[in-house]
Structure 1
Amino acid sequence: MRSFERQLLTFLGAALLAAAPAPALAAGAEEDAKTLFARGRELRGAGDCERAIIAFRSALEIYPEGLGALRNIAECEEALGLYASARRDWWDLRRAALQSTEAKYAGWSEDAEARYRALGSKVGTLTLEVQGAEGRQVRVALDGKPLDPRLLGVELERDLGAHTVELFYGGAAPLTERVELTPGAHRVVSLTVPPPVPARDAPAAPIAPAPRSSSSGLRTGGYVALGIGGAGAVAAAVALAVRAGAVSAVEGGCAPSGDGYVCPPSLQGDYDTGRTASTLFGVFAGVGLVGIGTGVTLLLMSPSSPPAAQGASAAQGAPAPRGALPSAELSLAPWPGGVGSRLRVRF
């Protein structure tokens, strides 16, 4: 059969079912309920009340007017020791029998009420309490099912046996307590919410080192500039000495020619060395002058210690306090084969 034909037949069947009279549907439901009811009676007769309850429940869902299924459920639960469940079903049967107009259910409300009261001394109760939950979101579960907060502190009928109470309060794991209900027992389970864990003290912020004063930066820059200038001066002096030696060799072995000299090939190297030394002298001399000038300027710009403090330090023979202006001295002196330089800085 093609898919289209199958869908068409399904649609027609649903339309016919919807068009069927309500009494016909009710009759079909009643017949199915009778079949399930009979199956439940067989299981109960065989001593299998647990499976019989399932069959009776199915029959009652299909045909709620069949109160016999509800009565058998209550009787099976009572036989299994499920007194709390039996009491609820006996009370439901009492209410349904009072509303029914079927003659066969006459007197059932009185029987159901009598059984309900008779089981009152056998049923166990649980009262759940939560302490320390002021202003906190908590949730209680009984046997894995959430408990309505309005039922906290209320005596609850529960079947005999073990029950698990869980308190969820936002911790890593819920608080759990197991309680065993015995016939007629009235147990109170009180759970206390642990106090909130105090937040750890925030680690103290590391103390940042105090920034150096601008005067310290000026002094440091001045020392660096003086060092560079001194090195440039020394290099210029060396280049000057090398040039002087080369000039002396050229003048002694070369013949003057116009603005230059005519040198034999053996003195060409001295001639080139002299020219290179002249160029380097100009570079290093410029670096030395700029460095020394910058260093001295920076040192002069940095504030010095008060004269009184300097005088006291000098009188006591102590070194000058930090912040005192250092003195620098650059001198050029004759040196074998040329001119030498000397840089002295006193702090």
Structure 2
Amino acid sequence: MDRPLATAALLLALLVFAPAGAPAHAQDAAETSPSMQRTARSLYEDGVRAARARRWPEARGAFERSYALYPRPITLMNLAGAQRQTGRLVAASESYRRFLRDASERERRDYGAAIESALGGIDAQIAHATLRIEGLDPGDRVQLDGEALDPRALGTEIALDPGEHRVVIARTEQTLLDHPFTLREGERTEVALEVPRVVARVVVPEPAVVAQTAVAPPVTTEPDLHTEPPSGDDPTPWIVVGVGAGVVAIGVAILVGVLVAEGNGGELPQGSEPPIRL
């Protein structure tokens, strides 16, 4: 019988004969209410039925929820088997080892040998990768398969399940590197990466838009040229001030005409029109 089938047969045997009401540790039982224990046992039985039907993802989910409510070693042992069947080898190894630590003497006597055998097969399948990353800044974030990686893990072997993996390095809100890699069963490899240099981008601000208010030209209200001046005032300044240079020229011409007439003794040259007296 090959290894996966042997493991499945071993797990099914454990599922069939593991008593659903096996006692938990006294401390765990004291901290779990009766209603939570009943729910945990119901979930455990759901997991057993799913495992017998080889619906391993469903079985793993039921055992996980049952163990979270009522952490019995027997549930943990079955959870480990479902984790292995769904490719979660690292988690399965941890669960089996926790069972050996937490189980009662009777449970270790009944299942210890089978679990040690299962662990041997799992450890041979687990892959290991050593991540080496050059060019990291102190604030850079490294993620492995979507989880934050402790910087102390860099340069050391990390146990990983066979299959696809991904390293993502981010700085502030920018992803600097996104590197997928694949591991085979039992493979040991080194993943060497270098963070690309990031050229600081100079952001040129847009020119400020100054709101311009259209200013209407000043409205000059000219006095009515035909307005009668006050009594006794000389009308010439009113005409000059009111209508501008054109009228000034006319006024000058008029004055020149007056002066010329006066220079001739008050007589106008022949053919001349009499001056206009304002």
> Could you state the TM-score of these two structures normalised by the residue count of structure 2?
0.61
- Contact kept, 8 Å, 1:94 with 1:110, in 2: the verdict is no
User: What is the CA-CA distance between 1:148 and the residue it aligns to?
Assistant: 1.3
Residue 76 and residue 23 in structure 1: after superposition, are their counterparts in 2 closer, same or farther (change >3 A)? closer
Tell me which residue corresponds to 1:91.
97
Tell me which residue corresponds to 1:304.
none
Structure-1 separation of matches of 2:82 and 2:143 = 27
Tell me which residue corresponds to 1:121.
124
Structure-2 separation of matches of 1:43 and 1:80 = 13
- SS of 1:197's partner is coil
- Contact kept, 8 Å, 2:89 with 2:126, in 1: the verdict is yes
Structure-1 separation of matches of 2:256 and 2:64 = 123
Residue 59 and residue 170 in structure 1: after superposition, are their counterparts in 2 closer, same or farther (change >3 A)? closer
- SS of 1:157's partner is strand
Give the letter aligned to residue 168 of structure 2. E
How many residues are treated as equivalent by the alignment? 201
Aligned with residue 153 of structure 2, among 151, 154, 171: 151
Q: Does 1:72 pair with 2:78?
A: yes
Q: Does 1:164 pair with 2:166?
A: yes
- Contact kept, 8 Å, 1:40 with 1:51, in 2: the verdict is yes
Residue 191 and residue 45 in structure 1: after superposition, are their counterparts in 2 closer, same or farther (change >3 A)? same
Aligned-pair identity (%): 25
Q: Does 1:54 pair with 2:66?
A: no
Tell me which residue corresponds to 1:81.
87
User: What is the CA-CA distance between 1:171 and the residue it aligns to?
Assistant: 7.3
Give the letter aligned to residue 125 of structure 1. H
Tell me which residue corresponds to 1:42.
49
User: What is the CA-CA distance between 1:24 and the residue it aligns to?
Assistant: 10
- Contact kept, 8 Å, 1:81 with 1:159, in 2: the verdict is yes
Give the letter aligned to residue 51 of structure 1. E
Residue 118 and residue 245 in structure 1: after superposition, are their counterparts in 2 closer, same or farther (change >3 A)? same
Question: How far does the alpha carbon of each residue in 1:124-150 deviate from its partner, in whole angstroms, 9 at most, with x for none?
Answer: 1222221022x5421101111111111
Structure-2 separation of matches of 1:59 and 1:109 = 22
Q: CA RMSD in A?
A: 3.4
Give the letter aligned to residue 83 of structure 2. E
- SS of 1:137's partner is coil
Tell me which protein shows more helix as a share of its residues: 1
Give the letter aligned to residue 250 of structure 1. E
Larger CA Rg, structure 1 vs 2? 1
Residue 191 and residue 170 in structure 1: after superposition, are their counterparts in 2 closer, same or farther (change >3 A)? farther
Residue 245 and residue 85 in structure 1: after superposition, are their counterparts in 2 closer, same or farther (change >3 A)? same
Residue 76 and residue 91 in structure 1: after superposition, are their counterparts in 2 closer, same or farther (change >3 A)? same
User: What is the CA-CA distance between 1:117 and the residue it aligns to?
Assistant: 3.2
